Amino acid sequence: MKATDIQSLQEAGFIRPDQAEAILQHYQLESHSHRFMTLVGVIGAILIGSGCVLVIASHWDTIPAGLKLITGIALLAGSHVLGVQLGRQGKYPQTAEAAHLLGSLLFLGNIALVGQVYHLSSRPPSVILLWGLGVTPLAWILRSRVQHLLSLIILLVWLGLEMNQADSWIHSNNIRQHFSNTLFVGVVLSIWGHRLDRSTYSEFAPITQRVGSLVCLMASYPMTLGFFYHGQSDAPGGPAFAIVLSFLAGLLSLTEMNRRNDAPNSRTWASDGSIVHGGLMALAWMVQAVPTTTQDWSFPATQPGPHWITLPVLFGLSIIQIRLGLRRQQTWRVNQSMMFIGLLTMTAYVQLFGTQENTGLMFLTAGILLVGLAVLLERQRRRLITQIRESTTVNPA
């Protein structure tokens, strides 16, 4: 269901304007113009921030150190002051978002500026962490979804750098541990997004869920490739970070299930979500437990191996994700899962290259499933529109 569908129902007289607005807010449907203006503002803020950095860098040697710091602080403060003023007026919310985003980007520039002026040496992850500590509170104070998205990106970048840092307690000693820990992070973000859905910051829930789901897909896909398990380092990876993330995911899941006991279809939603998250965490632990072996699972990877366990499991979890997306009216989840199923199907075909009978049967089965899912999705959309029409017939405007 899209915002245009609601607009069509309103224009046809089936629903009142206030009902249309309530539906848009309940299902978190945004107009394309609002999204376009937000995107333009974000791109503009990035260009302005990059331009300021480049202009200062081009005259770096001729600008006194004190003037550099004053200029950087003035630009940072001016951006946020402009955002506050525009936000109070309420006429230009996208421009206010862009101004605050520019200030957040300039905060990173100021951190780098101070390090260059005073010749400070620091760990790259610590710089990103300091940036995140400055941006994250601003997102919650302003209730800004753009700032929240930026804080999530900063979090993922910081964790990625920390896992590659040799002196970090969450250091990943091999590529398998790196991707499995990243999968744990994606699961935690996804569960946290569901937790936010019924909090006072419910506007952050869709962004957090989408980022978490995307991280899960990106981290789990390499586990379906045979060569991913070949030629890894023998260095044992510390499981401390994985244990902490597993405990955090379990704790969030328990609190989320308790909060949804009074909601319609809560048990079904909770069970589907628990199956998906539990399956992903089981795969993450399995990948870390795979020992280093001389077995060659390169293309064509037709021999039995852990990738032939991961691939069908992810296929089944994607189908559950589609079911979950249909029940929660989350089109993005359905589309994302269907695209991932297609990617898994192509991956299986490439790794089974040369066995035409097996791949033919697999393609036939996958094609039938995809067509059936498409028909089911269209029926769900039509059923929802029919329910809206029936409700307006019972309670006419």
What is the average pLDDT across 386-390? 61
Is the pLDDT reported for residue 20 higher than 60? Answer: yes
Residue boundaries of the structural domains of the chain? 184-354
Residue 220 confidence class, pLDDT cut points 50, 70, 90:
very high
| Strand, helix or coil for residue 336 | helix
Is the pLDDT reported for residue 393 higher than 80? Answer: no
3-state secondary structure 223-274: HHCHHHHCCCCCCCCCCHHHHHHHHHHHHHHHHHHHHCCCCCCHHHHHHHHH
Is the pLDDT reported for residue 139 higher than 50? Answer: yes
> Residue 370's Cα: distance from chain center in Å?
24
- Measured CA to CA in angstroms, residue 113 lies from 62, 116, 131, 321, 343 at distances of 15, 5, 13, 45, 43
What is the average pLDDT across 380-393? 61
What pLDDT does 356 receive?
Answer: 61
- Least confident span in 229-243, 273-287, 316-330: 229-243
Of 21-30, 243-252, 377-386, the range with the highest mean pLDDT is 243-252
Identify which has the larger pLDDT, 386 or 217.
217
What pLDDT does 397 receive?
Answer: 46
Is the pLDDT reported for residue 103 higher than 80? Answer: yes
User: Over the range 233-246, which residues count as b (16 or more CB within 10 Å of their CB) and which as e?
Assistant: eeeebeeebbeebb
What percent of the chain is modeled with pLDDT above 70? 68
Residues 68-89 have pLDDT tens digits of 788 788 888 888 888 888 777 7
In angstroms, the CA 164 to CA 172 distance is 6
How much is the pTM?
Answer: 0.75
What is the average pLDDT across 102-128? 82
Residue 269 confidence class, pLDDT cut points 50, 70, 90:
low
- Least confident span in 76-80, 127-131, 220-224, 255-259: 255-259
pLDDT, the chain, mean: 77
Is the pLDDT reported for residue 159 higher than 90? Answer: yes
Identify which has the larger pLDDT, 3 or 239.
239
